[in-house]
């Protein structure tokens, strides 16, 4: 772990630093500027440079530069080309380049975002965002007009976090779409969106979203600090950010949630969490997150509280099943046969009779097979989906049992474990459990139930020590705050949840007024006289 490699990684920032040249001020000459530009971005075929002159600007030379594909050519034609090519000054008036610049900027361009740039660097940054640069001959600055309009995926249903009841729109890859979705849900002036550009080469937009007053100041400051500290060349997905900012430490547990659902994100932000949207991925982050957040699904709040509570309890049991079942099978069949009911033991013994492998090998074989199948299912082209299930279910499951390689009980254990794993709403924690499961199996095979118990304790101690941006990972259970258990193991009715979870608390703690439970109007419905007398 601490070999020379990691040291070089620590200092591995140099190549990134070297690739960034010093800011280059623009030249007076248009030709020189364009040349410098071409030199910087090479002869890339998607860069469009168009030069022209306009009579009314005393035949000044102009040039536009934009990147095809990042811009909306309709906008360019209508709002740049057309006005610039028209005559817009009294005939014969002679204009200096300075006048022309302010004229174009202030009068000619019917376009929202127009910026100025004096260095090639700043202009290039805008160019890559889809702006069109307008250079004027004889001027040491240039204009950049917002013509961005690249191809975008339309808003679709989230694929990883589906609900039956509830909004069906998910984030898209576009950061702007994401912030707009949140803005539409949280129509409050306290909503803050702070943008960062992270990654030397990708310049990925990252937006910090929170509600001023709800989110804890310290947490926001800490996230800002950690975001600022990221020094890397590329951010391609939210996990890049997640790994850079999550509380360090060797832990299999995620301490930052990710979600594809704007409604889940809005819910989190309203509870004082801080959202982080990343350009180029539909998965946004929510922090700080505790262990129990990973068992809450946004649908919990879209259906009756009793049903949600029941489902949530099922999820917690599924968590334990998914983590422990194969380990328990191994422990019980190799160490603690006396713990099983006799009939079950005999039936297990009958199945194990022809199996040549010890229970651990049998379990590892099947669990690994399942994970291979699952991975294959994710990576393969959609069209061969049925083939995978046939191979998985029939060829591997059925015939492995018939061939006497594994026992039927093991197949049941593996499938139940797998299905339990799918019940957990957060893929992040489900994957952690997958990993823990294997460790648990090995421990069960060496130390039996005693080992399972010890390892569970070690896990618990580890979790109790974890923190997500200062919030204890197991709060509000450890440290125990009974008042905030209303949304942990069960979900109480909404009218009973009057305060926000303490864990992420900012200044404003009250979510809604008390005593909102539905009840009949005051007093009994009475005959008319009775009613009038009181």
Partner 1 sequence: MVQTETKGLGLMSTGRKLGLKARAARCLVCTLVCTSMVTGCWDDRELSELGITSGSAYDWEDNQWKATYQVINPSSGASSMGGGGGGSGSSPPFLTFTVKGNTIMDAIDRSNLTSTREMFFSHSRVTVIGEKLARRGINQLIDFFLRKQDARETVYVFIAKGNAGDILNQLMQLTKNQGAGIQLMIEQEARLTSYFPGVRLFQLAMALSSESGSAVIPEILLTGDEIMDETSETGRTDLPSRLALGRLGVLKGDRLVGWLSQQEAFGLSFLTNKINQASLSFPTQPETSAKIDGSFLLQHASTKIRPVWENDHYVMDVSITGSGVITEIGSPMDLNNRASIAQMERTIGENILETVKQSWVSVKRLNADVTGFAMTIHRSDRKRWKQIEADKSWDEVFGNIEIRPRIHVSIERMGLSNKSFKTVQQD
Q: Does 378 bind partner 1 (CB under 8 A)?
A: no
Beta carbon of residue 346, minimum distance to partner 1 (angstroms, whole number)? 6
Q: Does 343 bind partner 1 (CB under 8 A)?
A: yes
**Bond preceding residue 288 cis, omega within 30 of 0:** yes
Closer of 211 and 348 to partner 1 (Cβ): 348
Cα-based angle 247, 251, 252 (whole degrees, multiple of 5): 120
Closer of 164 and 403 to partner 1 (Cβ): 403
Closer of 312 and 437 to partner 1 (Cβ): 437
Q: How many CB atoms lie within 10 A of CB 196?
A: 18
Q: Does 6 bind partner 1 (CB under 8 A)?
A: yes
Q: Does 353 bind partner 1 (CB under 8 A)?
A: yes
Per-residue binder mask for partner 1 (CB under 8 A), 40-59, x = binder:
--------------------
CA distance 108 to 84: 7
Those residues whose C-beta lies under 8 Å from the C-beta of residue 253, and which sit 6 or more positions away, are 291, 429, 432, 463, 466, 473
Q: Which residue has the tokens 């509600």?
A: 211
Q: Does 14 bind partner 1 (CB under 8 A)?
A: no
Q: How many residues make contact with partner 1 (CB under 8 A)?
A: 49
Contact 108, 38 (CB under 8 A): no
Closer of 293 and 333 to partner 1 (Cβ): 333
Beta carbon of residue 174, minimum distance to partner 1 (angstroms, whole number)? 22
Closer of 5 and 153 to partner 1 (Cβ): 5
Closer of 162 and 358 to partner 1 (Cβ): 358
CA distance 297 to 486: 15
Tokens matching residue 66 = 């934009």
Closer of 343 and 533 to partner 1 (Cβ): 343
Q: Does 447 bind partner 1 (CB under 8 A)?
A: yes
Interface pick for partner 1 out of 160, 347, 369, 499 (rule CB under 8 A): 347
Residue 297, SS3 per DSSP: coil
Q: Does 401 bind partner 1 (CB under 8 A)?
A: yes
Stretch that binds partner 1, among 85-93, 171-179, 233-241, 426-434 (CB under 8 A): 233-241
Contact 396, 373 (CB under 8 A): yes
Contact 222, 252 (CB under 8 A): no
CA distance 398 to 406: 10
- As beta bridge partners, residue 284 has 259
Q: How many residues does the chain have?
A: 534
Beta carbon of residue 470, minimum distance to partner 1 (angstroms, whole number)? 15
Tokens matching residue 374 = 């699952």
Tokens matching residue 120 = 């090639």
Q: Does 456 bind partner 1 (CB under 8 A)?
A: no
Beta carbon of residue 214, minimum distance to partner 1 (angstroms, whole number)? 29
Q: Does 234 bind partner 1 (CB under 8 A)?
A: yes
Separation in Å, CA 407 to CA 335, 342, 361, 363, 390: 18, 18, 12, 10, 19
Per-residue binder mask for partner 1 (CB under 8 A), 406-425, x = binder:
xxxx----------------
Q: Provide the binding-site residues for partner 1, judged by CB under 8 A.
A: 1-2, 6, 9-10, 12, 232-234, 236, 240, 243-244, 248-250, 333-335, 337-338, 342-343, 345-355, 358-359, 401, 404-409, 442, 445-448, 451
């Amino acid at each position: 772990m601490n070999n020379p490699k990691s040291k070089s990684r620590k200092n591995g920032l140099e190549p990134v630093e070297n690739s960034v040249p010093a800011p280059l001020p623009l030249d007076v000459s248009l030709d020189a500027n364009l040349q410098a530009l071409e030199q910087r971005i090479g002869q890339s075929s998607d860069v469009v440079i168009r030069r022209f002159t306009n009579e009314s600007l005393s035949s000044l030379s102009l040039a536009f530069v934009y990147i095809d594909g990042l811009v909306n050519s309709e906008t360019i034609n209508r709002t740049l080309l057309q006005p610039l090519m028209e005559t817009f000054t009294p005939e014969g008036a002679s204009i200096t380049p300075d006048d022309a610049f302010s004229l174009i900027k202030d009068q000619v361009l019917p376009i929202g975002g127009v910026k100025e740039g004096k260095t090639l660097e700043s202009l290039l940054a805008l160019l890559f965002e889809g702006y069109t640069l307008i250079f004027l001959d004889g001027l040491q600055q240039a204009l950049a007009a917002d013509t961005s309009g690249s191809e975008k995926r339309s808003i679709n249903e989230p694929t990883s976090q589906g609900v039956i009841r509830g909004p069906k729109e998910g984030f898209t890859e576009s950061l702007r779409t994401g912030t707009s979705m949140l803005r539409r849900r949280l129509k409050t002036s306290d909503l803050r969106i702070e943008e960062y550009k992270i990654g030397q080469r990708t310049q990925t937009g990252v937006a910090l979203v929170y509600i001023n007053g709800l989110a804890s100041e310290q947490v926001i400051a800490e996230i800002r600090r950690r975001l600022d500290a990221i020094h890397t060349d590329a951010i391609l997905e939210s996990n890049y950010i997640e790994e850079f900012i999550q509380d360090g430490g060797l832990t299999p547990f995620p301490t930052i949630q990710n979600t594809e659902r704007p409604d889940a994100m809005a819910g989190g932000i309203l509870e004082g969490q801080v959202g982080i949207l990343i350009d180029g991925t539909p998965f946004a982050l929510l922090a700080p997150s505790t262990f129990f957040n990973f068992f809450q699904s946004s649908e919990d709040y879209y259906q009756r509280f009793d049903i949600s509570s029941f489902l949530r309890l099922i999820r917690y049991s599924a968590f334990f099943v998914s983590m422990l079942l194969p380990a328990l099978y191994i422990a019980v069949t190799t160490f603690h046969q006396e713990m099983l009911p006799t009939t079950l033991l005999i039936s297990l013994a009958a199945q194990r009779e022809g199996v040549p492998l010890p229970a651990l090998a049998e379990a590892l074989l099947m669990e690994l097979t399942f994970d291979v199948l699952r991975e294959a299912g994710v990576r393969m082209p959609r069209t061969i989906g049925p083939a995978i299930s046939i191979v998985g279910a029939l060829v591997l499951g059925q015939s492995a049992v018939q061939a006497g390689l594994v026992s039927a009980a093991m197949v049941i254990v593996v499938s139940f474990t797998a299905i339990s794993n799918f019940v957990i709403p957060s893929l992040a924690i489900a994957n952690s459990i997958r990993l823990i499961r294997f460790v648990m199996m090995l421990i069960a095979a060496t130390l039996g139930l005693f080992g399972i118990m010890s390892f569970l304790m070690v896990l618990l101690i580890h979790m109790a020590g974890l923190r997500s941006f200062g919030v204890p990972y197991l709060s509000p259970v450890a440290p125990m705050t009974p008042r905030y258990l209303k949304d942990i193991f069960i979900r109480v009715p909404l009218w009973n949840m009057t305060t926000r979870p303490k864990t992420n608390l900012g200044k404003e703690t009250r979510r809604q007024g008390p005593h909102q439970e539905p009840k009949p109007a005051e007093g009994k419905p009475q005959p008319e006289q009775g009613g009038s007398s009181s």
